[in-house]
């Protein structure tokens, strides 16, 4: 690792595991954002479309928890995808105050293209490691994540 140089890296961060995790995340995220831009999509919009495809009828509250963002950000995000006709809001059957969100046909189309694009980038990011190494890495990262979660959020 010694001779490798990481941009915007303070000298004491070169050997920091957290810095490396951050740098990998940032690099992959930038690549995803660049690939999604021609589709007229942002990374958060793509994540939202994915959630709506996997869990039709989620609410804004569900999206807050799943995307780890605040209420106003979810509202803005959902308003944007509704405006682009990628999703619609429908009344919740048990609570008229709540709205469930569903993908439109157009939303499904853009989701499929975005999902394929993101998966290609994610898989190429992990190609340098063997299946065994990836399993070990995921296990170690889960261990770190479990340690840093607030006590009330631990499973």
Q: Does residue 75 fall inside a structural domain?
A: yes
pLDDT, tens digit, 9 for 90 and up, residues 90-135? 998 888 888 999 999 999 999 999 999 999 998 887 788 888 998 9
29 and 89 together in one domain: no
Q: Are residues 73 and 102 in the same domain?
A: yes
Q: Examine the domain organization and report whether 97 and 65 are in the same domain.
A: yes
Count of domains for the chain: 2
Q: Which two tokens stand for residue 3?
A: 């001779």
What is the CATH classification number for the domain harbouring 97? 1.10.10.10
Q: Name the pTM for this structure.
A: 0.77
Determine phi and psi for 6, rounding to 5 degrees.
Answer: -110, 130
19 and 67 in a single domain? The answer is: no
154/144 Cα distance (integer angstroms)? 12
Grade residue 44 by pLDDT with cuts at 50, 70 and 90. very high
Q: Kindly state the average pLDDT of the residues 74-88.
A: 97
Confidence of residue 150 (pLDDT cuts 50, 70, 90): low
Please check whether residues 23 and 63 belong to one and the same domain. Answer: no
> Which residues span the domain enclosing 83?
41-115
28, 45: one domain: no
Indicate whether 72 belongs to any domain. Answer: yes
Tally of CB atoms within 10 A around 77: 19
In the chain, % of residues over pLDDT 90: 61
Q: Which of these, 85, 128, 129, 122, lies nearest to 107 by C-alpha position? A: 85
Residues 55 and 110 in one domain: yes
């Amino acid at each position: 690792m010694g001779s490798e140089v990481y941009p915007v890296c303070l000298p004491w961060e070169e050997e920091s595991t957290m810095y490396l995790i951050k740098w990998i995340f940032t690099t992959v995220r930038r690549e995803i954002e660049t690939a999604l831009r021609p589709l007229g999509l942002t990374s958060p919009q793509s994540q939202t479309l994915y959630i709506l495809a996997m869990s039709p009828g989620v609410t804004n509250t569900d999206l807050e928890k799943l995307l780890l963002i605040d209420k106003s950000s979810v509202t803005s995000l959902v308003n944007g995808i509704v405006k682009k006709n990628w999703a619609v809001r429908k009344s919740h059957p048990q609570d008229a105050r709540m709205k469930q969100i569903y993908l439109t046909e157009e939303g499904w189309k853009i989701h499929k293209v975005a999902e394929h694009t993101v998966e290609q980038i994610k898989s190429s990011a992990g190609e340098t490691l063997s299946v065994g190494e990836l399993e070990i890495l995921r296990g170690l990262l889960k261990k770190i994540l479990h340690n840093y979660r607030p006590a009330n959020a631990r499973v």
